[in-house]
């Protein structure tokens, strides 16, 4: 429910028709994929520190695409794993 409220607020603050992108940082195994697939967000980047979780999210994504006949899903793009350059703290 929190995800829907947040998306509605973000979409409401943007001009109609404007593309909205989101970053799901700490996506885990992709438990929110079904919620995202029903949202009006055009692009979502899923990221997690655990590579195995990202692989599981990819599997869930492909399963969801099959169940939905490809509608409201986008291609899964695997990006190279980016190194953590530094951690900034105060």
Distance CA 7, CA 11 (A): 6
* pLDDT, tens only, 40-81: 777 778 888 888 888 888 888 888 878 877 655 455 555 555
pLDDT at 47: 83
Centre a 10 Å sphere on the Cβ of residue 86 and count the other Cβ atoms it contains. Answer: 5
Tens of pLDDT, residues 3-38: 778 777 777 766 566 777 788 888 888 888 888 877
**pTM surpassing 0.85?**
no
Sign of the Cα pseudo-torsion (82, 47, 29, 77, in order): negative
């Amino acid at each position: 429910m929190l995800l829907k409220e947040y998306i509605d607020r973000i979409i409401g603050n943007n001009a109609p028709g404007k593309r909205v992108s989101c970053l799901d940082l700490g996506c885990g195994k992709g438990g929110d994929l079904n919620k995202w697939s029903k949202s009006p967000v055009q692009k979502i980047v899923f990221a997690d520190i655990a590579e195995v979780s990202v692989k599981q999210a990819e599997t869930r994504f492909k399963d969801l695409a099959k169940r939905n006949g490809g509608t409201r899903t986008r291609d899964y793009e695997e990006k190279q794993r980016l190194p953590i350059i530094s951690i900034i703290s105060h």
